[in-house]
Amino acid sequence: MSLKPISKENLPGHHVELGIAQPLRLDSGENFGPFNISYQTYGKLNEGKTNSILVCHALTGDQFPAEKHPITQKNGWWELMIGPGKVLDTDRYFIICSNVLGGCMGTTGPSSLNPKTKKPFGLEFPVITIGDMVRAQKLLIDHLGIEKLFSVIGGSMGAMQVLEWASKYGDRLHTAVPIAGAPRHSAQNIAFHEVGRQAIMADPEWCQGDYINENKRPRRGLAVARMEAHITYLSEPALHRKFGRRLQERDQISYGFDADFEVESYLRHQGSSFVERFDANSYLYITRAMDYFDLAAEHEGVLANAFRNTKVRYFIVSFSSDWLYPTIESRAVVHALNAVAANVSFLEVQTDKGHDAFLLDEPVLHETLSGFLEGAIRHSGLGL
């Protein structure tokens, strides 16, 4: 299987071209557009258009949270959460999930054709921010004619988008659920991302970002970046429980550089399978957007000011063993919301699964999120 530049023609679901009449003003100052947004929906939009939930995906996620992935044929990344009778009940809610700007699953990104040159953008693609991703999502929500979302929900980078939505477009959503997120990227977060980017750019097949034109792919560099990142998604106890020092299909160490240990074999597989579905330049651009995220910085360093006069109801979730976006980051959001007298609930899930817990079967998360949404429905009088 080899990664082809993905166009809206060869992906299932919905596509819309946005920013045609008026290009999108990016945080960098550049005017960008027109561009495509690819998205999926699950369930039915009710007559009053009041039952929609926007689900925001993480760094390497996409718009297929609740169905087979069109490339890998694996289950959607949030099938545990979205579906009939599930927490995000598709018999009740209209779920929208769009590929982020800069992505590689149909929404315009660095692997898309630049209409001006008829060649893939590569590094001609503008450097974007979480704010730009959300600005593009908002155009989609406008396009769908939805005045107010019932909820915006997401984990990891998805949580950053949720916070951005609540901060910038608070009148467009009833509830916000940032899970395993942070109001800004820490020095350690930036450092890990920088290593990943350097691994990609060190690969000669990256070709200064022009690999599609050169008919090459920086597969090994991207795989190294993914392997490194994957370690940060798991806790040490989870790695110990899953793999420990168990050997991979052998009785004793080989005294060599093969994958002697299961954990090595697992990581190599994570790396090599990732490159089949993800674009290296998208990885550069999206990690950069995350690094740049700093909600307080836009408000004179006072995070609370990002939420002044907010009417949104918040449910903030962290995981006790998440060391990538630790609880202290979620608490900073809670404190900021308390300072502006917002309606906020906070849950720290006790688990050893690390950052990836937001994707996994965590009954406490599912039950409490369900309860939070019920309460918000009662409060809103929407009668969903």
Q: Does 121 bind a copy of itself (CB under 8 A)?
A: no
Spatial separation of the C-alpha atoms in residues 361 and 326, rounded to whole Å: 19
Q: Which CA distances in Å does 220 have to 51, 203, 216, 347, 370?
A: 44, 7, 11, 39, 41
Q: Does 165 bind a copy of itself (CB under 8 A)?
A: no
Shortest spacing between CB 132 and a copy of itself, in angstroms: 10
Q: Does 186 bind a copy of itself (CB under 8 A)?
A: yes
The one segment of 4-12, 168-176, 192-200, 310-318 that binds a copy of itself by CB under 8 A: 192-200
The residue with tokens 């993914």 is 226
Of the residues 132, 203, 291, 322, only one is catalytic, namely 322
φ/ψ of 12, rounded to 5, equals: -75, 170
Which residue in 142, 202, 213, 361 binds a copy of itself (CB under 8 A)?
202
Of the residues 38, 111, 156, 235, only one is catalytic, namely 156
* Site map (CB under 8 A) of a copy of itself, residues 2-41, x = contact: -------------------------xx-------------
Which residue in 67, 79, 228, 348 binds a copy of itself (CB under 8 A)?
228
Residue 145: which of 284, 13, 48 has the closest Cα? 48
Q: Does 277 bind a copy of itself (CB under 8 A)?
A: no
User: Which residue's CB is nearer to a copy of itself, number 269 or number 308?
Assistant: 269
Total number of residues that touch a copy of itself (CB under 8 A): 56
Contacts of 248 (CB under 8 A, 6+ apart): 259, 260, 261, 262, 264, 265
CA 135 to chain CA centroid, nearest Å:
15
Strands (E), the chain: 14-18, 24-25, 31-32, 35-42, 52-56, 82-83, 88-89, 94-98, 113-114, 119-120, 149-155, 173-179, 313-319, 343-349
Using N-to-C axis directions, what is the helix angle for 130-143 and 280-292, rounded to 10°?
100
Q: Which CA distances in Å does 295 have to 139, 158, 300, 351?
A: 21, 14, 10, 28
Shortest spacing between CB 212 and a copy of itself, in angstroms: 17
The one segment of 60-68, 156-164, 170-178, 258-266 that binds a copy of itself by CB under 8 A: 258-266
Q: Does 210 bind a copy of itself (CB under 8 A)?
A: no
- Based on the residue annotation, tell me whether 322 is a catalytic residue of this protein: yes
Q: Does 355 bind a copy of itself (CB under 8 A)?
A: no
Identify the H or E element spanning 169: none
Spatial separation of the C-alpha atoms in residues 61 and 105, rounded to whole Å: 9
Q: Note the residues at the interface with a copy of itself (CB under 8 A).
A: 27-28, 123, 126-127, 184-188, 190-192, 194-195, 197-199, 201-204, 220-221, 223-224, 227-228, 231, 236, 239-240, 242-245, 253, 255-257, 259-261, 263-264, 267-268, 271, 284, 288, 291-292, 294, 297, 323, 326
Would you please indicate which residues are annotated as catalytic (active-site) residues? 156, 322, 355
